[in-house]
């Protein structure tokens, strides 16, 4: 390992004292769970999983404990009893995403307690998380001496460049994916060098070939389940960012790839100057952020972001750039518009003159109060000049947003309160960091 990366490793490795404390917490949790399970007469077994179980954890890690129930346990019992076992944690919070679990604290460490079914082969899987203990066994059975630290470097590097985590907020590289890539590439640098040849559609196999076709940009076949793509969460932008960052790092490695400087939000006067220089229209849409887990919230934020963008596009308000953020307790959607206001008149084209349904078009628009002129023939088609419902992007969103599908929790929040601000009024101090990200577009290691 190069001396530079050896120095990085010393910063991300848990200290001996931290590791002793983690192991003591794990022993206590497992003993407490075993007593609770026995007292309830359950045939379940608590298991340590995740990065700590594999010896690839970083400093400040959380602890993942699974409670494996026999396959003949009903789903109702598994969820009820599995969640109840989570009450041994301090400040327990029930998390309901694809699979319910409990998150809380124990002995100063963040802990997740997750119920699952006990299986020995992925074909027996009954819930979304049942493979996880098999993943632990696979990594422990294949990792070579010294590779655990290489995995740690890859995880810290991926986190530093902003693509670590398969959860809905990030849609990036999971811990297990980083582990498999390291097993395949041999080392941290081996993974980066391999990635230079990645393109959308790249397929990476370890022990077993894929048993089906995948459509995601990057495919890493799960060695314990060839029907699963471990990289299914990775979006094309995260893939491209990984490849670009690998190229940059291999040419000129710096600590900023692992420990980027925090983004410094531009002050409002600078944002106004920058917005004036760019000369685009500005639009900010905000609602209260629903009190749901990130795995539930972020898919709805993406859905709403697409819906607002599609609405603007359909009505000829050209979006130059956009993003969404959660700012304190608000969900915020920011749009930079190449066109943010339009004339009152809009042309609407109909069918060719010689089609039978042309009469329906004529009958509809001859009688419509929205018709300004026409119908008339333009080329081979009928056309009509109409009065727009809204001439500004802000007015359009205000008029039409209730017709959009933005997710049930977000829609409830929006019906309670939605604020639409345009022009200079969209540049609020509260949103300064989000606008800075939209305007500056610097990679984390360039700050």
Q: What CATH number is attached to the domain comprising 215?
A: 1.10.1410.30
pLDDT tier at 369, thresholds 50, 70, 90 = very high
Q: Are residues 300 and 442 in the same domain?
A: yes
Residue 22 lies in a domain: yes
**Domain ends where: 204, 231, 257?**
257
Residue 190 lies in a domain: yes
CA atoms within 13 A on the CB side of 183: 23
Residue 212 lies in a domain: yes
pLDDT of residue 209: 86
Give the pLDDT mean for 123-134. 88
pLDDT of residue 116: 94
Sequence-distant contacts of 140-149: CB under 8 A, at least 24 apart? 140/53, 140/54, 142/183, 143/54, 143/55, 143/179, 143/183, 146/1, 147/182, 147/183, 147/186, 147/187, 148/54, 148/55, 148/56, 149/1, 149/9, 149/13
Q: Are residues 380 and 427 in the same domain?
A: no
- Using CA atoms, how far apart are residues 69 and 66, in angstroms rounded to an integer? 10
Residue 150 in this model has a pLDDT that exceeds 90: yes
Residue 190 in this model has a pLDDT that exceeds 80: yes
pTM: 0.89
Q: Are residues 318 and 247 in the same domain?
A: no
Residue 138 lies in a domain: no
Q: What CATH number is attached to the domain comprising 294?
A: 3.30.70.590
Q: Are residues 435 and 286 in the same domain?
A: yes
Edge-to-edge strands of the sheet including 345-352? 345-352, 381-387, 371-378
**Domain ends where: 232, 257, 282?**
257
Decide if 147 contacts 182 (C-beta within 8 A).
Answer: yes
Residue 96 in this model has a pLDDT that exceeds 80: no
**Tens digits of per-residue pLDDT, 274-317?**
999 999 999 999 999 998 888 889 999 999 999 999 999 999 99
Strand partners, 339: none
Q: Are residues 232 and 200 in the same domain?
A: yes
Print the domain residue range for 108. Answer: 13-123
Residue 135 lies in a domain: no
- CA 396, distance to chain mean position in Å, is 28
Q: Are residues 154 and 284 in the same domain?
A: no
DSSP label at 264?
-
Strand partners, 345: 387
Q: Are residues 95 and 179 in the same domain?
A: no
- CA 243, distance to chain mean position in Å, is 18
**Tens digits of per-residue pLDDT, 53-71?**
999 999 999 999 999 999 9
pLDDT of residue 97: 67
Residue 223 lies in a domain: yes
pLDDT tier at 356, thresholds 50, 70, 90 = confident
Residue 411 lies in a domain: yes
Residue 415 in this model has a pLDDT that exceeds 70: yes
- Cα→Cα distances 432→56, 264, 320, 332, 418, Å: 37, 9, 19, 11, 19
Decide if 115 contacts 102 (C-beta within 8 A).
Answer: no
3-class DSSP state for residue 262?
Answer: coil
Q: Are residues 59 and 109 in the same domain?
A: yes
Q: Are residues 80 and 215 in the same domain?
A: no
pLDDT of residue 1: 66
**Tens digits of per-residue pLDDT, 202-242?**
999 998 888 789 999 999 999 999 999 999 999 999 999 99
Q: Are residues 310 and 433 in the same domain?
A: yes
The total number of structural domains in the chain stands at 4
**Domain ends where: 208, 227, 257?**
257
What is the pLDDT of the chain when averaged over all its residues?
A: 93
| Helix residue ranges, H only, 163-267 | 175-185, 188-195, 236-251
What share of the chain in percent tops pLDDT 70?
A: 99
Q: Are residues 236 and 307 in the same domain?
A: no
Residue 437 lies in a domain: yes
Q: Are residues 34 and 178 in the same domain?
A: no
């Amino acid at each position: 390992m190069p001396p530079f990366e050896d120095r990085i490793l010393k910063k991300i490795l848990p200290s001996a004292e931290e590791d002793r404390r983690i192991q003591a917490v794990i022993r206590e949790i497992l003993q407490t769970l075993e007593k609770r399970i026995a007292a309830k007469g359950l045939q379940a077994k608590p298991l340590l999983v995740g990065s700590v179980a594999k010896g690839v954890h970083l400093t400040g890690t959380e602890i993942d404990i699974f409670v494996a129930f026999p396959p003949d346990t009903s789903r109702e019992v598994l969820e009820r009893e599995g969640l109840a076992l989570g009450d041994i944690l301090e400040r327990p919070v029930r998390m309901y995403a694809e699979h319910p679990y409990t998150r809380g604290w124990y002995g100063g460490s963040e802990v997740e307690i997750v119920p699952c079914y006990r299986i020995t082969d992925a074909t027996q899987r009954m819930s979304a998380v049942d493979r996880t203990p098999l993943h632990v066994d696979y990594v422990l059975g294949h990792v070579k001496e010294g590779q655990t630290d290489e995995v740690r470097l890859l995880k810290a590097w991926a986190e530093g460049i902003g693509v670590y985590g398969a959860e809905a907020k990030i849609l990036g590289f999971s811990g297990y994916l980083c582990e498999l890539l390291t097993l395949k590439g041999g080392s941290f640098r081996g993974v980066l060098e391999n990635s230079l040849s990645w393109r959308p559609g790249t397929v990476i196999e370890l022990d077993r070939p894929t048993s089906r076709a995948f459509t995601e940009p990057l495919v890493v076949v799960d060695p314990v389940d060839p029907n699963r793509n471990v990289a299914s969460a990775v979006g094309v932008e995260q893939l491209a960012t990984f490849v670009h960052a690998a190229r940059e790092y291999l040419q000129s490695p710096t600590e900023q790839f692992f420990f980027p400087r925090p983004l410094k939000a531009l002050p409002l006067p600078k944002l106004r100057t920058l917005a004036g220089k760019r000369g685009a229209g500005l639009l900010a849409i905000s609602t209260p952020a629903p009190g749901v887990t990130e795995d539930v919230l972020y898919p709805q934020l993406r859905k709403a972001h697409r819906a607002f963008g599609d609405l603007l596009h359909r009505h000829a308000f050209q979006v130059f750039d956009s993003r969404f953020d959660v700012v304190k307790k608000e969900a915020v959607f920011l749009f930079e518009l190449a066109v943010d206001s339009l004339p009152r008149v809009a042309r609407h084209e109909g069918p060719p003159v010689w089609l039978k349904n042309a009469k329906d078009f004529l009958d509809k628009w001859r009688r419509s109060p929205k018709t300004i002129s026409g119908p008339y023939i333009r080329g081979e088609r009928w056309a009509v000049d109409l009065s727009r419902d809204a001439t500004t992007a802000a007015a359009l969103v205000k008029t039409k947003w209730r017709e959009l599908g933005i997710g049930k929790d977000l829609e409830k929040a929006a019906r309670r309160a939605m604020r639409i601000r345009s022009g200079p009024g969209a540049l609020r101090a509260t949103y300064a960091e989000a606008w800075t990200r939209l305007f500056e577009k610097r990679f984390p290691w360039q700050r």
